[in-house]
Structure 1
């Protein structure tokens, strides 16, 4: 059945309102944003093994990069960033890579990667950067506690995320830039831990990044939660052997975003089919009644079910 013309016009009107807000937001907020300089980190060799010695070397390199960024922040008077970086450089924390430039890039490991039988890579969405890293880290910690031994969680802040109130949050540009780096990172993990079960956990705009990286990746699951879409009409169009899962909390505002693609003269806006819709073809999991940032909250149904998926188990209905 063809879509009702009135409904189609309404969706386009809503999408147009989003575009207007996206263009206006950065202009009003530009004066408040302040870049924090950081030095370029030393190049890291590929992680070819996850022996304790190999990981210790990689973690030491990450810590050196963090400390170099902390010295620069201190020198330039960015006291809040310097304090945060000092905490990140704690020897009890483990980073496979770190780059403090341009909003920040990092991959923090929770759990013992050298013994992990299950590895979950968290791919965050818009507005995730070093200044807002706590939400990503907190979710990774809670998931690590839920999964327990023989599991490792990697918080992959491996790309420059768009601002929620920017036009880039409605286009593929940032995802297409990020996808090759995510693909290379996951393949490196697959080579280093060939027997481990690897899952991609993709939140919000991170779903677009995962979708663009998906073809050919050796992962067991791609979990889309709070997803804005994937720019694919169906799960099959992602061209992956992984099981594609989708879930959304009942209080998540993403449910009210028009799931469509609108081709304009200057860009194509939107990400198409809603991943939790029957037509997309993902396996659905119950995500409870939380909002857009609540999927990995302690005690939540969504956290329990995401942990079950990572473990290779069937999600619970309630």
Structure 2
């Protein structure tokens, strides 16, 4: 019998080795991660907003995020971990958020201590709720978790580092407070500037913990071995952001030249990878159910004259 996805995600966070966790926003992104051999996938709230043409200021609703997450869950067999912002409202909203994510098949979420309306991590002007409100928010989430699936992972994210009046010690104070006063599973420090600061936070925080270091300040990411020694539970892999730049450059070339040759050349280069592990496109490796599974279902249950022709190639 297969282990539950929530249990598998919990084991990832409890492991002594850092898990590299690709993140994105679409089923194809998660399928790419799964096919590449990664054991989990993270749905980014910020990129979800951007992908829908919105700024990351809490405009996407719980329903929109959970509907997107459900499609990603159904498209893959690996545990899905999702950004749940502040829980989308008051205590009752937080409780409903956990219930709905569990019902959608998501394996875990992180909840932050920002005041609504929230901002993207690392932006200026971030404000936090009081200690008491943050603790109540997390306790409500944990209670909902324990009623439905105790293995569902609840992560407490603190923006104490970048909030007004905050800093390294405020982030640490909040992280340790949430660990002591709630039964959350993981502590997550957002927007840290340097890897030295990450190392300090990880060393001072008991239990599964991770931090996101700002690429603009922190410099190169340490190796997995180094991250594991630091105590980093997971490290996100934001492969979607650089991937969008190539199509953007192509679009600018077409605009400037009025010619489609750059697109033709790009597609020709892609076709060279077809049939190899380096090709990411439509086909049985990236769809679920696969074309072969669809064909098998039709052969088992449809009369022969109603089965689609998958073999004939028409000129």
Q: Return the TM-score normalized by structure 2.
A: 0.28
Higher helix share: 2
Answer with 1 or 2: which has the greater Rg. 2
Q: Higher relative CO (CA 8 A, sep ≥ 6), structure 1 or 2? A: 2
